[in-house]
């Protein structure tokens, strides 16, 4: 299949691996921001093919994982109410709140439904005018355009029983936060290709200049990731720091302009709390004031819910690339996919889930 088979071709992959070994003369730490890339790295053993002097660390690019605990609790509080249909992508249903998850709310009689798009939730609202329908809007820039379109259509069509619980976050401010940390060890980044498909590359140029580090927009197949690593290593070895585009078959420098326009019509930049990390300035988007009637936190008056993160879950340090999942004392013991302490173990893009699924369990 075009754009699939060739990017999983073992001969091409081996050639790039050989080039990485030849190019590498020093120790380097490279972060793949996206959780999807983390799973691909673990699944295909990419971390075991590259030189041991290159350490891959896993970033905060799993939107489910960085959704703050208090936002999960707000979702649970809304979903438990009578006369509410609570809709969400499927990967949010098992993410633990402080006491329950959405599956438990559903088992207790809550009307919780899995949808594949916020536009599906909008249709449910049209079909159920006597119910309040809420969509749990989680994700990076990749999913924000669809959320924005749902809000825009609801406003245009005067669908007043529809609202959004918004937890969208942005990648560039997260990189700024990581680079500003005294614990940061990262020398270069593999930027998430799907995010760059929407937002383009412009936001990364000031970061490469300010922090003197390479950023390479990278896809998700084995050859993509290996080529992205090679491009970062070559820059580091040559003392360069540039924005490069490995994923050029999809990503354009200017991004998807219509998608960005609809985001800007509906959302505004805001400070955002990240699970296990804390508040990152200007790292989220919230509904504009003129769209406030579609803000579920205001509709259900739940702004005052605030909870502390569980101390035994170290997902925050994992999401910052400071520790690896197997370094957590609870990993594979008290914390498993069936009984997760945190979202990084249950999410399909979580680093802990990847280590568990592909048997990177050195401590077991």
Supply 237's token pair: 């070895």
State the pLDDT at residue 88. Answer: 97
Query: What backbone torsions phi and psi does residue 185 show, to the nearest 5 degrees?
Result: -120, 0
Tell me the C-alpha distance between 359 and 348, whole Å: 15
Task: Look at residue 306 in the predicted model and tell me its pLDDT.
Answer: 67
**Distance between start and end Cα atoms, the chain:** 39
Closest CA to 315 of 289, 344, 294: 344
Copy the structure tokens of residue 28.
């380097």
- Cα separation, 162 vs 147, in Å, equals 12
d(CA 295, CA 282): 19
Copy the structure tokens of residue 159.
Answer: 């669908």
Quick one: pLDDT at residue 362? Answer: 54
CB 232 within 8 A of CB 30: yes
Report the C-alpha gap between 186 and 29 in whole angstroms.
5
Domains of the chain: 6-60+174-239 (3.40.50.11750)
According to DSSP, residue 326 is labeled G
pLDDT of res. 363: 41
Query: Which segments of the chain have a pLDDT < 50?
Result: 363-364
Residue 52, burial from CB neighbour count under 10 angstroms (0-12, 13-18, 19+): exposed
What are the CA-CA distances from residue 246 to residues 65, 195, 215, 317 (Å)? 26, 13, 10, 28
Neighbours of 8 (CB within 10 A): 14
pTM of the full predicted structure?
0.92
């Amino acid at each position: 299949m075009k754009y699939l088979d060739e990017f999983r071709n073992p001969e091409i992959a081996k050639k790039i691996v050989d080039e990485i070994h030849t190019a590498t003369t020093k120790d380097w730490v490279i972060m793949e921001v996206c959780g999807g890339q983390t799973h691909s790295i673990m699944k295909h053993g990419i971390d075991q093919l590259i030189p041991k002097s290159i350490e891959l660390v896993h970033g905060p690019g799993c939107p489910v994982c960085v959704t703050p605990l208090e936002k999960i609790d707000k979702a649970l509080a809304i979903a438990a109410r009578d006369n509410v249909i609570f809709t969400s992508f499927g990967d949010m249903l098992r993410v633990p709140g402080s006491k329950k998850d959405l599956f438990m709310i559903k088992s207790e009689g809550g009307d919780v439904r899995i949808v594949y798009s916020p536009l599906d939730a909008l249709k449910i609202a049209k079909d159920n005018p006597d119910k309040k329908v809420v969509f749990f809007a989680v994700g990076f820039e990749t999913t924000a355009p669809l959320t924005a379109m749902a809000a825009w259509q609801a406003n245009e069509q005067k669908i007043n029983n529809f609202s959004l619980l918004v937890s969208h976050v942005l990648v560039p401010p997260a990189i700024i936060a990581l680079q500003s940390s005294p614990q940061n060890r990262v020398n270069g980044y593999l930027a998430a290709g799907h995010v760059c498909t929407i937002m383009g590359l412009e936001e990364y140029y000031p970061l490469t200049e300010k922090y003197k580090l390479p950023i390479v927009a990278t896809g998700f197949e084995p050859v993509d990731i290996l080529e992205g690593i090679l491009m970062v290593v070559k820059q580091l070895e040559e003392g360069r720091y540039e924005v490069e585009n490995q994923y050029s078959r999809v990503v354009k420098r200017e991004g998807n302009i219509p998608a960005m326009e609809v985001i800007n019509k509906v959302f505004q930049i805001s400070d955002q709390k990240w699970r296990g990390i804390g508040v990152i300035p200007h790292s989220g988007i919230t509904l504009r004031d003129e769209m406030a009637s579609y803000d579920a936190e205001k509709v259900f008056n739940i702004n005052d819910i605030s909870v502390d993160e569980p101390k035994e879950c170290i997902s925050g340090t994992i999401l910052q690339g400071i520790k690896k999942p197997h370094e957590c004392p609870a990993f594979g013991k008290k914390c498993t996919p069936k009984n997760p302490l945190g979202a990084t173990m249950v999410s399909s893009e979580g680093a802990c889930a990847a280590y568990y699924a592909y048997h990177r369990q050195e401590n077991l």
